[in-house]
Chains A and B, each alone.
Chain A
Amino acid sequence: MQSKLEHDFGTPESHAKESVTLTIDGMTVTVPAGTSIMRAASGAGVQVPKLCATDSVDPFGSCRLCLVEIDGRRGYPASCTTPCENGLNVRTQSPKLADLRKGVMELYISDHPLDCLTCATNGNCELQDMAGTVGLREVRYGYEGHNHTKSQKDESNPYFTYDPSKCIVCSRCVRACEEVQGTFALTIEGRGFDSRVSAGMGESFMDSECVSCGACVQACPTATLSEKSIIQMGQPDHSVTTTCAYCGVGCSFRAEMQGNRVVRMVPWKDGKANHGHSCVKGRFAWGYATHPDRVTHPMVRDKITDPWKEVSFDEAIQFAADKFKSIQTKYGRDSIGGITSSRCTNEEVYVMQKLVRAVFQNNNVDTCARVCHSPTGFGLKATLGESAGTQDFDSVMDSDVIIVIGANPTDGHPVFASQMKKRLRQGAKLIVIDPRSTDLVRSVHIEAQHHLKLRPGTNVAILNALGHVIATEGLVKEDYIASRCDVESFEKWRNFVSRENNSPEALEPVTGVPADEVRKAARLFAAGGNGAIYYGLGVTEHAQGSTAVIGIANLALATGNIGRRGVGVNPLRGQNNVQGSCDMGSFPHELPGYRHVSEKATRDLFGTAWNVTIQPEPGLRIPNMFEASMDGSFRGLYVMGEDIVQSDPNTQHVIAALEQLECLVVQDIFLNETAMYAHVFLPGSSFLEKDGTFTNAERRISRVRKVMPPLSGLGDWEVIQKVAQTMGYPMNYNHPSEIMDEVARLTPTFHGVSYEKLEALGSIQWPCNDAHPEGTPTMHIHEFTRGKGKFIPTEYVATNEKVTKRFPLIMTTGRILSQYNVGAQTRRTANVAWHSEDRVEIHPVDAEDRGIVDGDWVGITSRAGETVLRALVSERMQPGVVYTTFHFPESGANVITTDNSDWATNCPEYKVTAVELTKVTQPSEWQSNYKRFAEQQINFLHQAEAKA
């Protein structure tokens, strides 16, 4: 159902530059051309009655309630479908209009249950409101005729109910599914009186193609589509605008509340990243915040084989501080470190890296971007001069040709995918470069012009082949390169990429992609208008991840596709604050704002502000920490909001390293897999319990607002601050806004950022400074951050992870729509209804060769380890390639992945692991051991809780 806490203008906003002036009910109104009379009236404070119109979808003109009178026009035009024109004189009220509207309402109400007092939408029902607005006092037709009031509810979706008895067939849900989400799962079934909303071909919502984004629910004017949380709890009384804690799209939501209790999350219409849209995770999967598994008391223990003991924050922090100090005394200053998280706010990440640099006095800080987008930081800094994407999301609406490489946005970044699909339906061309047939390759009203279905691990080869065609067929934008780029580097790249060994024909045996298809794709991208490249972890998580990012930048530069709307290099960040955690100085070689620790001026700036000496040498990356732990020179680690045991590759190696530590501190909302190896557990707070900011994939800084108090009593930044204080460092912030003020003082790209400005503007895309006081939607417009755009040759080097007779298949990993990352949040929601286990997808030919049928348990063996998953036989895979997700710890997906990593950043090569699959009947040895260990650790937790 719609939200009563947000104004509905009835029809979408017009962005036309020209304006028109008309008169509505005697008032002179000026609006952008193309604005409907309904919207113009609404903006002027006149609410024309309506039912089938809502401002998230195009007008439809079916309910006949919004009729108006216009001087000089015959009849009663619908105000939703009639655009404003200069000089119109419109009346929204007259006796005749009142009569017509009352007649319409009589018909609607004659086939509608009159259970308003016990209806979930009581007080928030547009039908009820309209009955009141038109002054409905009787229904001349009675209620006894043929009607739908006994229709059965569809309760199949875990989050919302479909009650056809309350449907007025306004089609708002159907249009929302088409226009906003782009799934086309809903339709109107039947004709005339029999017309009803239907999911798919008369299926239940759960069995249909519905992706549970909630757009239909949001659009519904009655109780037909209602959130179950509203049915259970009742209507919210206030709302707080905040930012989603899931993927890198960073959707704005209004948390609709009753006191401190969340009733529902509704995507904010004015959110600049999502424009009022959402996905199943952000919209519905927030129940984890109050899940019984939350650990809300600090705990300590001497050994991981000991039971936990609940203690106060002061005791736990003293315990940790003493351990860290003692380790440094014994093993040296560089023997401890910290890991920040992209699931935490900018302010939390900033104070965490400050703790490491100012209190631990070293640079041993790293972040989970190490295992996802660290190559983006490296590659884009090297070529463009800034470790960030170049556009805002809205830019895609000006793209003519879109390359999606190594990304599956309909699953990983669904809200942006909906916007991209809208542009594709308008006619933009699409090139997909992916080993799998992702949904974008072919879905309703969308078909990629070219799907370059390459072999895993050959991104650089395909990028070089595309570059070869552009360089050798005269498709290079010479004038752009002459004026914007480092010409010497371009010539070097052109010579390199023009070599015969980089031609599509020469590389066809490597990539498996027909050369002719590559040539066509290259020509389309170079000559098809505004060309934009979107990429994800399918690019970065390779031994040549950084090389591929550089290759993407080379293509964009060569075709002149950076520096304006509709183009650009666009990394789709996996987690909500990957960009922000990197911006805040989480890497061991960089201070906030991507300034290398070797730069004395930057060190002095921070050193003076923090009253310490900043070390000039880079610290340890996460995998280096593991190595150093194994050799005995690294003995203490503070992990905030990350689950490295589940998310990092080669689980056995990670665990072995953690077992060597003398003090592992984990700060998290759950006793996650890493916490099972910890000595100190500090309870964290969910995004609903904190103030701060997240920075999404388009560099957009958005406020996170506390809607309920932290369950543990302290926000994460306060916990870190207490650790710093206990270790003897005076860290004394009173509010996260003071942390952001410090970031702004010390970081040029953030100089203009403040909570006050965020409040005024809603969100800000950095750089935000004197030159760009309201932020920067498009970067590198006149020149690149580094001055001239730099080309860098990208030699293709085959991965060392080779297929052999023993390991003949390549396994690649990814995520699914309903689950998020290690699943700690989504596994504790009803999203498990869609995905309750990780499965291994295998092509029918490979399955048949091994006697595997759908649903069989199969052992997956790699050079690193073995695990067992159920098989999903699917033609989405190409023969020779298998695929799995990593959302469940018991799956052990990372037991199989290896230590191979990107040459520049050590980002793991998750996307290429040589494996063999065999049919089995029991779990792997690792899984059996894991089960025993996890049960023991959960028992330790329960014992501690029982004692407290």
Chain B
Amino acid sequence: MHIENLVYMINQIESFYRSDPEQAVAVEGIRNHVRRFWEPRMRKAIIAHLETGGAGLGELSAMAVKLLAEEAAAVA
């Protein structure tokens, strides 16, 4: 998976959810969308990208990926 594409995709998702006035709702929207629609390889790749600095990730996207990372760690 090209990480640039995944970063682009999650930032697109952020652009939809960020109109919500409550930031937590927006972040949860992004996290939930990625969890429901992204194949595990894609999720792993974006989590790994955050762990190496998360270049290019939007602010809310980064927060959502952090939640996904915590969730993945809890399952592991």
Contact = CB atoms under 8 A, between A and B. Distances in A.
B39 A624 contact: yes
Contacts, number: 59
A408 to B, nearest CB: 27
Contacts of B40: 617
Contact of B12 (A492, A543, A618, A633): A543
Interface in B10-39: 12-13, 15-16, 18-21, 33, 36-39
A793 B18 CA distance: 10
Contact-residue bracket for chain A: 20 to 34
A797 B15 contact: yes
Given A598-B36, A619-B39, A904-B33, A547 B16 contact: yes
B6 to A, nearest CB: 9
29 contacts: A334-B39, A364-B39, A492-B20, A492-B21, A544-B16, A546-B16, A547-B16, A598-B36, A617-B39, A617-B40, A618-B38, A618-B39, A620-B41, A621-B37, A624-B1, A627-B1, A627-B5, A628-B1, A630-B2, A631-B2, A793-B19, A794-B19, A795-B15, A795-B16, A795-B19, A903-B9, A903-B12, A903-B15, A904-B37
B39 to A, nearest CB: 5
Nearest to B33: A904
Interface string B38-66: 11111000000000000000000000000
A638 interface: no
A863 interface: no
Interface of B: 1-2, 5, 9, 12-13, 15-16, 18-21, 33, 36-42
Contacts of B9: 903, 906
B20 A334 contact: no
A589 B2 contact: no
A709 to B, nearest CB: 40
B20 A793 contact: yes
Nearest to B40: A617
Tell me the dominant secondary structure on chain A's binding face. Answer: loop
Contacts of A620: 39, 41
Contacts of A628: 1, 41
Nearest to A378: B37
A294 interface: no
Closest CB pairs A-B (n = 3): A903-B12, A795-B19, A797-B15
Interface in A610-629: 617-621, 624, 627-628
B30 to A, nearest CB: 10
Given A627-B5, A904-B13, A904-B33, A496 B39 contact: no
Contacts of B5: 627, 899
A596 interface: yes
Given A620-B41, A628-B41, A631-B1, 17 more contacts: A334-B39, A364-B39, A547-B16, A589-B37, A598-B36, A618-B38, A624-B1, A627-B2, A628-B1, A795-B16, A795-B18, A797-B16, A903-B9, A903-B13, A903-B15, A904-B13, A904-B16
Contacts of B38: 618
A444 B37 CA distance: 46
Contacts of A618: 36-39
Interface string A623-645: 01001101101000000000000
Residue with the highest number of chain B CB atoms closer than 10 Å, among A492, A544, A596, A903: A903
B56 to A, nearest CB: 13
A775 interface: no
Nearest to A543: B12
B68 to A, nearest CB: 13
A596 B32 CA distance: 13
A903 B39 contact: no
A777 B9 CA distance: 37
B1 A903 contact: no
A637 to B, nearest CB: 15
Given A496-B19, A589-B36, A624 B42 contact: yes
